[in-house]
Every structure is written in C-alpha cells, then in structure tokens.
Amino acid sequence: MKVAFLVNDLALSGGVGVVAEHARRLAELDGWEVTLVLVRNQDEASWHGYEQLAQVSVRSRAQALEDHYDVAVATWWETTFTLFELSAERYAYFVQSLEDRFYRHDEAERMGAALTLDLPVAFITEASWIAQTLAALRPRASCFLVRNGIDKSVFPVLAEPSANDSGALRILIEGAPSSWFKHVHAAIDATSAMSEPRHVTVVTGDRAGLGTVAADEVLGPLNHREMAELYARSDVLVKLSSVEGMFGPPLEGFHRGATCLVTPVTGHEEYIRHGWNGLLTDWEDLRGTARQLDLLARDRTLLSFLRRNALETARGWPSWEQSSQFMAGALLAIRREPPPSGAEAAARLLADLRGGLETYHLHLRERAAYADRERRIRNRLKRLSSTTPIRQLLGLRRFGAVRLLAKPLSPILRRARKALA
Amino acid sequence: MPDWQERITHETAPAIRAEHDLRYRAAAPLIIQAGSWADLGCGNGLAAADALGARRPAHAVLVDVAEEAVERAAAELAMPGAARIVADLTDPAALAEIGGQLLALGGETFVTCFEVVEHLSSFLPLIQWAGTMASERGCTFFISVPNDEFWAIQNPHHLSAWGEGAFEELRRLLPAQHTLLRQVSLSGSALVGWDAPLERHSLEVEVGGPGTVATHFLAAFGPRHLEVARSALAVQSEMLEQRRWERERENDVAVSQRLAIEYREQLRQREIWFEEWRKYIHELERELNRPLSGAGENDLPDAEPSSSATGNAG
C-alpha cells in the first residue's frame, strides 16, 4: 500500500504533528510505504521535532509527481491544490478542522478553504462534529472517523492527580497568542479578574505575540514531554478558543490529572462533560470565567472530583497505536471503494462557487456604494471650500493671531483630515 | 484489588455471566440455523452452551489463543466433532485458515466474536478479514466490545480502549449494511415464595431511550445482520457477595478516614512538641555558642535526618 500525505511543510504544529504520527505508525506496518509530500518549496528541510520520521520518506512536490500512489491524502486545504497533480488510484482529504473558520469574513482564503470540501475525494476526519458536518454537506461522500490518539508513553495516565489541597490554584494557559481564535489574552485577563490566590503559567512558542502579560510564569516553546510534566503540575487548563478541531490540549491535560475550563468550542463535546471532568464557561464571559476559577480555588473537593474524572476519561481514550489502525483501515477501505463521482462533486463545487460569487458581488456592491458616498461627500466639501465665506475664512490663516486662536481646534482638524484620507 | 476475570468460568459473578449469556442468546437462533458456526475467542464455551441449551449447529469451528480453552469449549458444548483451532487473531494467515475451514464445512456461515477485539494488539487484520468474509463470502458476523470509558480503572488485559467514539470509528469500517446494539445493565427485584424451590418468572422491562449508557457495544454485519435478537436477561444477585464487597469498601473508607483524623491530631500535637524542643535546643545551642541545628522555623527538614547537625539562621 503506497500512501502519500500532502503537507505544506514540516514546521512543528498540531496539525502536522497528527499527520506525522499517522505516517510514522503506518510506515511500520508490513507492506506499507508512506511518503510525506512537501507541497511548498522549502528553503531547507525542517526536521525539528520529527526525528521519529526516520522510516517515512519525505519528498518534494516535484519528486512526488514522478511517483504513483494507491492513495494520495490532502491534509490542509492549500494542499488540495497539489492533490490531483499527483498520480494516484484514489484521492482522500484528511479534514482536521473546517479550515474556512480560520479566516475572517473578508479574507479571500475563507471561500477557498470552504470550496475544497466539494472536491471528489473520500474524507477522513478526526472529530465526530466534523464527520457530522461533512455528512450534512456531502451526504453521499465516504467519510471515515479517525480520532487522534494520545502518545501514552509521553502522556502516561497518572494513577492520582498531584495533590494541591490548600496552595494557590495552579492555572495553565496554552496557545498561540497571535491566532485570533485562540483568545489567549482573554484567558489571561480572566485569571487577573479572580479574587482567590492563583499561580498562572502561560505556555507559548510565540513570546513576541504574547507581549507583557499578568502571569506568574511564561514558558515555551516546550516539547511534548515538557508539556506533560507541566500538565502534571497544573490543576486546571484554561482555553477560551472559538475555533478548534479535535481540541487536543485539554485531553493531554486529562492524562496528567489536570481538569479544564473551556468555552463550548467545537471538539469539546467529544470528551468534556461539564461538572464531571471539566467546566464550561460562556463565550466572552470574563467575569463568569473568573468566578468559576475562584470556585475551583475555594472548593478543593470539586477540583479533586473533576481531576479524578479527567483521569478516568483519559484511561478510556485510545492510544496512537489504536488510532493508526483506524487510519490504516480507512485508507484500505478508500482504496477498495470505487472512486467518487467527479460530476457530482463538480456540480456541488460550481453551486458553491456561484453562491460565493454572489456574496462577493454583494460585498463589491456595498464597497462601491461606500466609495460613491465618500466621493459625494468629498465633492461637497470641495464645493464648500470654494465658496466665498469659506475662502475668506481660510484667508484669515495668514494672520498669526487667528492661527493662535485656532490652535485648540488643530487636533479635531487633523483627525478630520485623517478620516477623509 | 479488582479481580480481573477475562475468561468466564463456573465461579464468575452472576451479573458478568448474564452479560455473556445474553450475547450468545441473541446469537443462538442464527448459530443453530447456520450450516457452520465459528466462535472466535470461544473461551471455555460456558455461555454458548447455556444459550444453546440442547440444540447444536451442524458444524462448529472453535477458535482461541489457548489450546486448553478450545478443548474445554468442545467438551462443554458436547461437540467432539467440532474443528478446533488455536490461533492468534492478529495473524492474517491464521484468519485465512479459519475462513478456509469455515467455508469448507459448507452451508450458511455465522461467526461470533465476543469480547475479543480489545485483547488483540492489532485488530485491523480481523476487521479486514471479517469485512471481506461478510461482503464476498456471505458470512454473518456478530461482534462485541466493552465500554471501557465507564471503568474508573484500566483493565490491564485490554490492549485497546473502547467507548462510543471508538465504536463509531469501527462502525465506519464495517460493511455499509449492519445492525448496531447497545448492551445495558439492569437492576431489579423479585418476590418468591417463602420456602419455594427455584422459580422462573417472565419479566417486562423498559430499556433504552436517550442517555442510555452501554456496558458493551455490539455490531452484526453480513447477509443476516438484521436477525440478531434483542432481548433481556436478569439473574438473581448474590447478595452475600455483594454485601461483603460493599461492606469491605465502606469499612476501608471508614478506617482510612478515622486514621486520617487520628494522624492529623497526632501531627498537630507533634508540631507543638517539635516547636518547644526546637526553641529549647536552640536556646541551649546559643548558650553553648554552638551553630543552630535542624531546619529553620519556615523550612522543611531534609528527607533523611542528617547525622551531623548543620547550622542555620534559626
């Protein structure tokens, strides 16, 4: 079985990490040949953090074009641009999130990412909510569910959570602060609004994006083993993301005896139960989040209950070994099944493209209307400034006393000029 | 310590026996009607023998990783002519051999595979083989896995973890036509005559509905997947054993709590003494112009008491 996973690059990230784990474990199976295809031109091959990929062949796009695969798998929406250039018996798309949500409404990538879900491919996804969404969007497309495993050698399930019966509540905040949907600063703000004693640790690989924050400790970037140690020393992980795929970090924390306080973001429903193994907080509810953290700080019986049940949830979660068996099963099934209908996918793609174009036209019309309004205001101002009274008024500027009297108005005029520009 | 009984024996707790018996009862009509039946992971054959009663299929293939289990199953089922295969179900060659034996026996084929998948280091070969046998050879399969998510402790014999999510992953790898069942736990009570001998009652129970938590997940696939029977089975609880277990647990908790209170009080008392001794010893040391010994007032002492006193700020 010859499989190609298409990735942009091997830069250390959650999504690429998942693909690398599957690739590594599939490559260990008898008769499997697994290739990671780097679809972007690389300055240099980056292997940092992926030393375990020794058995996986890594090839450039140009090299992969000369090969033939049983199944070629896109793993990020931009990699679909290369997917059909490769020669393969079947094409698949490993969907780790609905990636259009990573972009704001006025970003062109948003529509591009959404349209890739219309391609004639078999889907594999890592979260039940994505599988359900794909079933609604593409009811006739094959969709296999392969939830991410947890590396139980790196995140072994603790027998007991680390004791903290009276010390400050140990809060961990993790994420990329420059990603708008991770809301790392909001999580830090919530801890600042607490009234109970706490010790806040922020972990990020992007210190510059974080800036100066009210935390007791800022760490990172950390590797998985260092994260595992940190989770074991933490009581609660706070994550207020508005977009997530499978939502792995709280689950890693569960393995090490940390409970979580999270927004009801997609992916949480897979394993987080409010009041059982974690707590849910409302969207953009800084005070409510702070009050829930205060509750955990005060009520150590509740904290212990949640942390123990988090460990129970972790015990029932599959390992990477199990997860990759499902991945292998999915790829074998995709290879066995007939290919999806290109005509059906094309019809769907064009219908969505038409919908997208209509939205785009609407945006353009709105912008044209704004531009027209702005032009009319500018012309009116121009006409106004050429009238005799205004000309005379402006002529007074040559007198020093007038300029002095008008000085207090200069910030307003500066702002008005800036707005008009 | 939990008592991990991965094989069903005559000593197995009635509630566990009932779970196994029920699965075989659901399969029994298909086993009997089948031209040939294979039981993968047959164990001692006790539950199958109970469920089948006096009836037997025309041919049987008994498969287990332990030879003695296969022999015992053949004896328990009173089927000396049954084919016996000692096999590792992760091995595709062994699976091919089982398939070959089964098809050679002829007739309609039916395979049971209860509580086996979670014991395999790799379940993919079994699932692949079963899917092919069902789709291409007209074989009907009936399999089960436990709901590990509802266990507070990890079963050391389970090499993969199963729950709603994992079963959904498995379901998507099965042939498109399949029947899924949830096995749920029952609680109940019965009224019996004062000195009556063993009585038999028919029960009517309401089961299922939203929020139902399964103890096990079952899937049937193949041409006769719709025919697996849904039913319920209740057995008398062993109240004496149950009471012993509960009382032991309550007693352990009570003893632990009492000890915790006792130790806390002792600790408080010792802290007072310790402070008095420290003050007294430090006063003496000051009078003798000796460096102060032991840990400071706000320090924790070393894990191992030091043989030579070390000075500190006091």
Does one domain contain both B34 and B54? yes
Q: Are A332 and B154 in contact (CB < 8 Å)?
A: no
- Any domain includes B4: no
**pLDDT category, A298, cuts 50, 70, 90?**
very high
Chain A interface residues facing chain B, Cβ-Cβ under 8 Å?
128, 143-147, 157, 270-271, 312-313, 315-319, 321-322, 325-326, 328-330, 332-333
Does one domain contain both B155 and B295? no
- Any domain includes B76: yes
**Mean pLDDT for all residues in chain A:** 92
- In this structure, are residues A71 and A90 in contact, taking their beta carbons and an 8 Å threshold? yes
**pLDDT category, A46, cuts 50, 70, 90?**
low
- Please check the confidence at residue B229 and state whether its pLDDT lies above 90: no
- Helical packing angle, B164-171 and A320-336, nearest 10°: 20
Does one domain contain both B65 and B114? yes
Last residue of a domain, one of B196, B217, B237: B237
What pLDDT digit, counting tens, does each position of A141-173 carry? 999 999 999 999 999 999 999 989 889 999 999
- Please check the confidence at residue B248 and state whether its pLDDT lies above 80: yes
- Any domain includes B149: yes
**pLDDT category, B270, cuts 50, 70, 90?**
very high
Last residue of a domain, one of B237, B262, B280: B237
* Structure letter (DSSP) for residue A35: E
Alpha carbon distance A293, A240 (integer Å): 13
- Any domain includes B93: yes
Cis ω before A221 (30° cut-off from 0): yes
Does one domain contain both B55 and B149? yes
Does one domain contain both B67 and B49? yes
What pLDDT digit, counting tens, does each position of A206-238 carry? 888 999 999 999 998 999 999 999 999 999 999
pLDDT of residue A125: 97
Residues of chain A with Cβ-Cβ distance to B175 below 8 Å are none
What pLDDT digit, counting tens, does each position of A22-39 carry? 999 999 999 999 999 999
User: Phi/psi zone of residue A175: left (φ > 0), alpha (ψ -120 to 50 degrees), beta?
Assistant: left
Domains and CATH numbers, chain A: 2-149+323-340 (3.40.50.11090), 169-317 (3.40.50.2000), 347-406 (no CATH)
Residues of chain B with Cβ-Cβ distance to A328 below 8 Å are 124
pLDDT of residue B312: 43
Question: What is the mean predicted confidence (pLDDT) over B88-110?
Answer: 94
Count of domains forming chain B:
2
Q: Does B165 touch chain A (CB under 8 A)?
A: yes
**What ipTM was predicted for this assembly?**
0.80
Q: Are B161 and A312 in contact (CB < 8 Å)?
A: no
Question: What is the mean predicted confidence (pLDDT) over A126-154?
Answer: 95
Burial class (CB in 10 A: 0-12, 13-18, 19+), B250: exposed
Q: Does B124 touch chain A (CB under 8 A)?
A: yes
**pLDDT category, A66, cuts 50, 70, 90?**
very high
Q: Does B227 touch chain A (CB under 8 A)?
A: no
- Please check the confidence at residue B237 and state whether its pLDDT lies above 90: no
pLDDT of residue B313: 38
Higher pLDDT, A121 or A46: A121
- How far off is chain A from B169, nearest CA to CA, in Å? 5
- Please check the confidence at residue B301 and state whether its pLDDT lies above 50: yes
pLDDT of residue A411: 84
Alpha carbon distance B297, B141 (integer Å): 71
- Please check the confidence at residue A14 and state whether its pLDDT lies above 90: no
Sequential DSSP letters for A120-170: S-EEEES-HHHHHHHHHH-TTS-EEE----B-TTTSPPPSSPPP-SSS-EE
**pLDDT category, A323, cuts 50, 70, 90?**
very high
Higher pLDDT, B296 or A149: A149
Query: SS in 3 state form for chain B?
Result: CCCCCCCCCCCCCHHHHHHHHHHHHHHHHHHHHCCEEEEECCCCCHHHHHHHCCCCCCEEEEEECCHHHHHHHHHHCCCCCCEEEECCCCCHHHHHHHHHHHHHHCCCEEEEEECCHHHCCCCHHHHHHHHHHHHHHCCEEEEEEECHHHCCCCCCCCCCCCCHHHHHHHHCCCCCCEEEEEECCCCCCCCCCCCCCCCCCCCCCCCCCCCCCCCEEEEEECCCHHHCCCCCCCCCCCHHHHHHHHHHHHHHHHHHHHHHHHHHHHHHHHHHHHHHHHHHHHHHHHHCCCCCCCCCCCCCCCCCCCCCCCCCCC
**pLDDT category, B307, cuts 50, 70, 90?**
very low
- Any domain includes B276: yes
Does one domain contain both B148 and B159? yes
Alpha carbon distance A130, A145 (integer Å): 9
Residue B300: domain span: 238-314
- How far off is chain B from A73, nearest CA to CA, in Å? 18
- In this structure, are residues A257 and A156 in contact, taking their beta carbons and an 8 Å threshold? no
pLDDT of residue A418: 75
CATH code of residue B113: 3.40.50.150
- Any domain includes B226: yes
- How far off is chain B from A325, nearest CA to CA, in Å? 6
pLDDT of residue B177: 94
- Helical packing angle, A108-115 and A342-385, nearest 10°: 170
- Please check the confidence at residue B14 and state whether its pLDDT lies above 90: no
Among B residues 144-163, those touching chain A with beta carbons less than 8 Å apart:
148-154, 160-163
* Structure letter (DSSP) for residue A340: P
Alpha carbon distance A138, A125 (integer Å): 13
- Please check the confidence at residue B244 and state whether its pLDDT lies above 90: no
**Interface probe with B: pick from A315, A319, A324, most Cβ of B within 10 Å:** A315
Share of chain B above pLDDT 70, in %: 91
- Please check the confidence at residue B308 and state whether its pLDDT lies above 90: no
Write down the pTM of the prediction.
0.82
Residue of A nearest to B92 (CA): A30
Identify any residues that bridge with A239 across adjacent strands, giving them in sequence order. Answer: A262
pLDDT of residue A421: 62
Does one domain contain both B175 and B260? no
Q: Hey, what amino acid is at B278?
A: R
- Please check the confidence at residue A187 and state whether its pLDDT lies above 70: yes
- Any domain includes B131: yes
Identify any residues that bridge with A260 across adjacent strands, giving them in sequence order. Answer: A237
Q: Are A322 and B154 in contact (CB < 8 Å)?
A: no
- Any domain includes B218: yes
- Please check the confidence at residue A95 and state whether its pLDDT lies above 60: yes
Does one domain contain both B303 and B159? no
pLDDT of residue A201: 98
- In this structure, are residues A50 and A20 in contact, taking their beta carbons and an 8 Å threshold? yes
**pLDDT category, A9, cuts 50, 70, 90?**
confident
Residues of chain A with Cβ-Cβ distance to B170 below 8 Å are 326
Does one domain contain both B55 and B146? yes
Q: Are B124 and A316 in contact (CB < 8 Å)?
A: no
Does one domain contain both B28 and B176? yes
pLDDT of residue A51: 56
Residue of B nearest to A313 (CA): B149
- Please check the confidence at residue A42 and state whether its pLDDT lies above 50: yes
Identify any residues that bridge with A238 across adjacent strands, giving them in sequence order. Answer: A173, A261
Does one domain contain both B275 and B303? yes
Does one domain contain both B246 and B182? no
- How far off is chain A from B8, nearest CA to CA, in Å? 23
Question: What is the mean predicted confidence (pLDDT) over B141-151?
Answer: 92
